Structure 1
Amino acid sequence: MNPIFSPLTLGRVRLQNRIVMAPMTRARANADGTPGSLAAEYYGQRASVGLIVTEGTQPSDDGQGFPATPGIYTEAHIAGWRKVTSAIHAHGAKVFFQLMHAGRMSHPDNTPHHRQGVAPSAIAPGEQIFTLAGMRDIPVPRALAIEEIPGTIDAYHHAARCAIEAGADGVEIHGVAYLIHQFLALSANRRTDRYGGSMENRARFVIEVAQAVVAEIGADRTGIRLSPGFTGMGLSHGDEGPDLYRYLVTELNKLGLAYLHIVHYGDESLLSDLRERWDQALILNRPERPRDEIGNDIASGLAELESYGQMTLANPDFVHRLLTNAHLSAADRTTYFGNSPEGYAVGYTDYGSLTDVSPYPSSLDKS
């Protein structure tokens, strides 16, 4: 049998298979940041995978970047998410909440307090962002004062505790594109204090966030997502990017986290170096991975798990379709986010499971 279907112990939980539903922003939360009315159904439909990593959940008012994204820092958030985690567990999967602080990728119209975003430095990304009033230029963020950084870190570990109270099996620290990545990137971080300048200083923030979360809920319930090859949203590491991630992964490895989740964009040599520096489980996401390569990274020993986004979005019964060599539906990009005039269910909970299975060429071994 393809090794992706085999069980695995990840941290303190046992997974029914090695397929991970990748985090995907769906923008269908209520105005106060609690999960929307269909969230439990949406996640429960897809809970035949081994692990679900939720959409990015902001750890504070400052952490919100986009409209209708969920939070995990109030009692109302905890109560709302309990329905979701119960639905996931009822269908056999485990769930980690992704903690996502948007940093400068924000707009005052999208936050509860209507303030500008915060970031390592007062440098705008040079992009637009969606608001309920339409697309807007992202304003210059406010640079975090050094005395504010401990409070920002506190928000992460408070959110981690709230996630566990809501029934999560752990949390994933989001280190791609948003606040953590902004501290790492030379193009977004021009600080001259202990959080800027050298790559060791720029990595300090994410390491301290990880340490705080570990202290709150345990290393075996903490994962982190990184993407060394990501250069969108105005982010650049300069020539030292590979060395920065070698250093960062080496330091994070000392914490004994449950997993490292890498979104990979093609530098196989760097990926191999990071694998050698990481002793725990590695989840690998290759955007646009061909179907006939599903399971290859597990079989080769490069990763312990593989994550999939659009495929799990459009195919609630993704695991069944792989096992039966069935057709995979395509996701409708126009309904990714919750502003469809037809209603929130469209492109969310209305993707069907199979009744008539049609053959689909695949190299998956179903023996």
Structure 2
Amino acid sequence: MIYFDNSATTIPYAEVLRTYQEVASKIWGNPSSLHNLGSKATRILEASRKQIAELLGVKSSEILFTSGGTESDNWVIKGVAFEKERYGKHIIVSDIEHPAVKESAKWLSQHGFEVSYAPVTADGFVDIDQLATLLRPDTILVSIMAVNNEIGSIQPIKAISDLLANKPVITFHVDAVQAIGKIPTKDYLTERVDFASFSGHKFHSVRGVGFIYRKEGKKLQPLLTGGGQEGDMRSTTENVAGIAATAKALRLVMSKENEALPRIAKMKEVIYDELAHHEDIVIFSGKAEAFAPNILTFGIKGVRGEVIVHAFEEHDIYISTTSACSSKAGKPAGTLIAMGVPTKLAQSAVRLSLDDDNDMSQVEQFLTIFKQVYEKTKKVR
């Protein structure tokens, strides 16, 4: 099997699964309990929080645990909006945000808020000048992703941070779900960023665990009320085993970055260069440093993406059409539409998302099968 769909989810590291199993079987007390079993769970929970914070270069008190990226995005977008509505009701998100952000913004637009969508360039980057024109005195929130999940464009978070530098009333949120282990932390977690969202299963942890970075002093409406967990912000019994596993995964991924990223980038380059030789191939992802080293999205003109996905699956090679959250709906990549790509061409898009688990022999096998698939589609093309 060749798994090239790592942006959808990653395979949990063996060490991460061992951590999960050990904590789940030995530290099974409720962290809110007063007895010794609860105290042991609390120590693991807070040690995990501290490790995640230190790896990101922030304070332990600035980490709030969630169930994943979708919850994290929903919580920040809605929680900030209702917390700051007395200052204004205008929100800006980009045209290429993940549905967890765009649908949250859409929901808010049905509850008294006004949403503006920042356009992107033909290459898939937020247009800073256009974003600047959308800012208003009543703007309370700007949400921009760090790495686009569909084509891998790395958004200009530093430039947007500079744009918002003298606008302290505006909260700046970054969806960093696709950023861990792919770009340096300093590129998306700037001093100006107030909130950032993360999801463990995108970097080799187990599913069902995520977290939010909340800059000290920044306010957010609670997500769940009840038991008072997470500083009265998210009242539900914490998934201690999953959180410990996520802390382990983050440490492992970040410790491998210097060695892994050049390898991943080289695999992408080899595939990119081969695809570029074929006249009926359109490549939507760039090869330059402005794009993540792991994501390569392309299409075969005249052939729908799902046809290509299933053609590779017959050879035990797993790729995706667009984002995992949208692919089953059969919709063209929203990012490509926002970039001005014609709908029919956008419907041809398939995404490869590589990881350190992959190697060059898998790349060679993929390219061998690609040539067969490409030849079979000749009549359709």
TM-score norm. by structure 2 comes to 0.28
Greater C-alpha radius of gyration: 2
Q: Which has the higher contact order (CA 8 A, sep 6+)?
A: 2
TM-score norm. by structure 1 comes to 0.29
